[in-house]
Amino acid sequence: TEEFGEERYCGVGNEVDLLNKIPCYGIICITGDFCNFVVLYFGAFPSTLIYRIRLIRRIVMEQGISIIDRKAEMYEMIMALESDFITNFSMRLTINDIPEKVITHSNKSDNIDGFVSMLQGIGFQAYIEICNNNIDKLNINIEHRNFLNKEFTKIIPIRNNVMHPRPLGVFDYPMLKQIFYSIDQYLDFFCWDNVKSIRTKIIEHPEELRLPPANLKKSNDIIENIPTTMDYEETSFIGRDKEIGQLKALLHKRNVHILCIIGDGGIGKTATAVKLLYDILDDDSFNYELILWVSLKTNSLNKYEFSEIKNSISTISGVYEKLGDFVANKDVEDIPSYLIELSQCYNTLLVLDNLETINTSEIKEFLDSFTEYGQVLMTSRIGLGEMEHRYKLEGMVEKDVMTYMDILLRLYGLEAVFTDLEKKDIATNKLYSNPLAIKWFVRCLYNKQSVDEILKNRTELADFCMSNVYDKLSDLAHRVLDVLIVAAGEISFAELMYYMDCREEDFTNITFAVNDLIKCNFVEDSNFKQNKKLSITNFANDFLRTLTIDNRKLMADFKQKEAKLQAFSQQLLQSRHRSPYTMKSFNIRNNDRSQIIAAYYLMEAISLSYNKEIEKAHLLVGYAKKLSPNYFECNKVDAFIYGTTSQVMAKQEYEIAITNCKDEDELVKMLIVYAGFLLRCNDYMGALDKLDKAKEIDPNIAYLSFERSKVLSCINRFEEAEKVLDDMDISSLSERNQNIFYTRKADIYRRKSEMYDVRDSGNKFILLKNAFEALEKSTNPDKGVYTYMGVLLRALSFLYYDDEAIQYILEKLEHYYTQIRREKSFKDFQIKMREKLEYISNSKLKLELTQYLEDYNEISKSLSDNQGIIYNLDKERKFGFFKNTKYPGGVYFKISNEEKDIQIGNIVEFDNVIETERGNMVQYYHIVK
């Protein structure tokens, strides 16, 4: 042990001194894969055995010699196998027994030493072919052949990794070891003296094991400077078979001139790229003649801390200098041009690792010229932003993550610390399946840090993975991130636009900002592509917590907008419940926030159309369509706006809306709304067709019956229209639907009355009275009922020559004036009645009617401050209101017993207006006119 310590662990410190003091009367032998050391102990003091295992593991790990020892052992194994094959072949075969293609491919086939020299120039695959061609001479049976062709072939790529300076695979050592220690049992027709000798040497004299010669080439056909030492070498490369296969396929495509592997820091971009390159060296389908590698990595994980790499390349000139050192002599002054010239002469692959550390704009011009002839492979957290074909590298799959963590834990002697469930939770949920994060975690654990302490202090890890990228983001991208931080969860793209106060003209810029955040792994890629949802990635979230950002103003603004959106959402629910088939009623599928926000802008578009701002309204609808693509309500509103300018475009949008409906409820709604439009266009049969289709889907919708009755009455099919209503059970209807029922009844009577001309005013008057009586059956009239009363009054105004009709109008005005005076239909009645007023012969009726036709706002302007005009009376409850310019909102007064003849339109004088919680009020007034 003293000799072992001095030669292999010189300078370690107290551990070696302690090891040397342990009593031992035998041999300590370290073997096994991945530092699973076995101590063969002979002698006294067996109680020290467990401690000795842990101590040796710790020393080996601190010195990092396990990889070197492993490669030396594997090299000796392969050399012994090759020597024994050559010895056996040379003793039992001649050159005539060797297949012609084997001789041709031997790299020593022209040597004068002949047969043995030729055998020295071939490899394991050729040995197998020689055996298969000489079964009888070598006494090979079926079992021998199965072993050669199924098991022995597995170590052919392992030999390439060992005999050329390449990183080892995760199963290379155990697989080679298994073949090496069993080959004499499976191939017992050969003599295995060299193999047996090396087995003894590995146990008794491991310090004498040789490493592969430093001058070995990685490839005989490709000039390259691919790195030979990688971070993953302590565990070997794990997984990524699917990803490497896809990357190979992309490199084979002619249109892929620049292939960029993008992903989070530490996700394994560099390791995957290197493994890909080594696979290419052995893949005859690639015809590269020159592979140039430059690493621009500036930081790395050193034990359990992140540190800067000395003399790292961080400029474009550094890239050229590094490449020039490999391919050019000192006389070459223009390295970029020389590299382009090389790519013209040789099939060249240029590999740029960690491109984000330099200014990419400086290298774009060079790459544009280089890729006319050569191909480029890059790794980056950002990418160039253009030119390249991007390949997003995600975290490792769960199986590979668990394998990787198991190996690391065993390597550091921590395999018994966690259960499988705990390992899975830490690796996938806490460390996001990121290889670098897992390695950092295990090393911190080995440094005696607690699990909670490690996971709470991920600042340095997050900073390493994200800081270079964050600094290169645009101001707009930073603003987007600020909103996502405040939102504290996933939001839709529509919500982002709403919270950022954006409009249609900002859509493209925000889209590109989000695209940059996805490329840089600040925003989840898959969630956005599948659901159009924005959420910060786990690593980005950890990193953003390290920044000092004052979001108080943004938070207050966000809450205000959120409250406004919530209120609007409630308004939509109420509107849909109250009147589901009006233009301002919107279906929202599964409380979809994108649809709510789209509806928010659609409502604004409707208001703009009311104000004749048609172009602005269409632009706003177009914006809503972008925020919620294929949302049928967008097409519905667009059709409504087109309804005043282009029936063709309106119909087209209604048809698209129907196509975009996702369920029967939405489809029925659109058929009813579309039918209403066709009715307004006098396309009665078209409207009836849509309503019939809706009825086939759901025959129990009351509104369908109302609309069918309306259409039937429009085409004078009154009996059918009445039957539709009579077949309904009015008692089962809601209060609102009952009111609609009465207005539809009234509408039938009114339309019937239009069948009579002025010469048959009696029948006309009777039908209009029947219509009013239908409305008066409502126990709780709503706006719709009062609006239709205005319609009926206008129809009655055409009977101005009939005193009985005028008297009837006065009766209804006295009773309903307060309720209907603000309705547009009533104002239409006023206009029509004023035109006919001079033709009324009964002066008393004319005077009484005039008071309801005055424009009280105009009259009030001519009054003094203490005068007002009465515009509202309720004689039953004995109160009223008057107004003037000083009190345009009105003044409340009580009707005294003396003022029995008080009428709307009277001018009053008043005194002492009192302000109350309910408004202005007077206690004294008198009529002056």
Q: Quick check: 415 pLDDT over 50? A: yes
Show the tokens assigned to 565. 């959106």
By the 10 Å C-beta count (0-12 exposed, 13-18 middle, 19+ buried), 213 is classed as exposed
**Quick one: pLDDT at residue 770?**
96
- Between 7 and 783, where is the model more confident? 783
DSSP state of 211: P
Q: How confident is the model at residue 306 (pLDDT cuts 50, 70, 90)?
A: low
Q: Quick check: 189 pLDDT over 80? A: yes
Please report which residue ranges of 165-231 form alpha helices under DSSP H: 172-186, 193-204
Nearest-CA neighbor of 163 among 214, 117, 204? 214
By the 10 Å C-beta count (0-12 exposed, 13-18 middle, 19+ buried), 604 is classed as middle
* Rounded Cα–Cα distance for residues 684 and 686 (Å): 5
* Rounded Cα–Cα distance for residues 540 and 462 (Å): 7
* Rounded Cα–Cα distance for residues 60 and 48 (Å): 18
Angle between helices 475-487 and 507-519 (to 10 degrees): 80
Average pLDDT, the chain: 84
Q: Quick check: 42 pLDDT over 90? A: no
**Quick one: pLDDT at residue 234?**
62
* Rounded Cα–Cα distance for residues 523 and 505 (Å): 23
Q: Quick check: 31 pLDDT over 60? A: no
What does the pLDDT look like over 369-392, one tens digit per residue? 999 999 999 998 877 767 789 898
Q: How confident is the model at residue 565 (pLDDT cuts 50, 70, 90)?
A: very high
Rounded alpha-carbon distances, angstroms, from residue 817 to 377, 793, 823, 888, 902: 82, 11, 10, 19, 15
Residues 62 and 169: beta-carbon distance below 8 Å: no
DSSP state of 237: B
In sequence order, the β-bridge partners of residue 911 are: 924
- Between 466 and 504, where is the model more confident? 504
Q: How confident is the model at residue 257 (pLDDT cuts 50, 70, 90)?
A: very high
Rounded mean pLDDT, 852-876: 81
Rounded mean pLDDT, 520-526: 83
**Beta strands at 375-380 and 348-353: parallel, antiparallel or unpaired:** parallel
Rounded alpha-carbon distances, angstroms, from residue 194 to 78, 80, 145, 197: 10, 5, 22, 5
Q: Give me the sheet containing 258-262, strands edge to edge.
A: 223-224, 290-295, 348-353, 375-380, 258-262, 389-392
Rounded mean pLDDT, 911-920: 82
Q: How confident is the model at residue 112 (pLDDT cuts 50, 70, 90)?
A: very low
Residues 741 and 704: beta-carbon distance below 8 Å: no
Residues 641 and 609: beta-carbon distance below 8 Å: yes
Query: Angle at Cα 714 formed by Cα 713 and Cα 719, nearest 5°?
Result: 20
What does the pLDDT look like over 744-773, one tens digit per residue? 999 999 999 999 987 788 999 999 999 999
Element at 478 (helix H, strand E)? helix 475-487
Nearest-CA neighbor of 359 among 384, 337, 379? 384
**Quick one: pLDDT at residue 48?**
40
Q: Quick check: 290 pLDDT over 60? A: yes
- Between 540 and 232, where is the model more confident? 540
- Between 808 and 529, where is the model more confident? 808
**pTM (2 d.p.):** 0.64
Across 62-71, 90-99, 169-178, 911-920, the highest mean pLDDT is recorded for 90-99
**Quick one: pLDDT at residue 166?**
72
Q: Quick check: 155 pLDDT over 60? A: yes
What does the pLDDT look like over 590-616, one tens digit per residue? 989 999 999 999 999 999 999 999 999
Rounded mean pLDDT, 318-335: 85
**Quick one: pLDDT at residue 559?**
93
Nearest-CA neighbor of 89 among 98, 79, 102, 80? 98
Q: How confident is the model at residue 145 (pLDDT cuts 50, 70, 90)?
A: very high
Nearest-CA neighbor of 655 among 628, 680, 678? 678
**Quick one: pLDDT at residue 58?**
41
What does the pLDDT look like over 331-383, one tens digit per residue? 788 889 999 999 999 999 999 998 877 766 778 888 889 999 999 999 988 77
Question: For the ranges 56-70, 402-416, 896-910, which has the lowest average pLDDT?
Answer: 56-70
**Quick one: pLDDT at residue 60?**
40
CA dihedral 718, 720, 725, 729 (to 10 degrees): 150
**Quick one: pLDDT at residue 71?**
81
CA 656 to the chain's CA centroid:
27
Share of the chain above pLDDT 70, in %: 89
Show the tokens assigned to 577. 């419940």
Q: Quick check: 215 pLDDT over 70? A: no
**Quick one: pLDDT at residue 314?**
77
- Between 305 and 321, where is the model more confident? 321
What does the pLDDT look like over 527-554, one tens digit per residue? 888 888 899 887 788 888 777 677 788 8
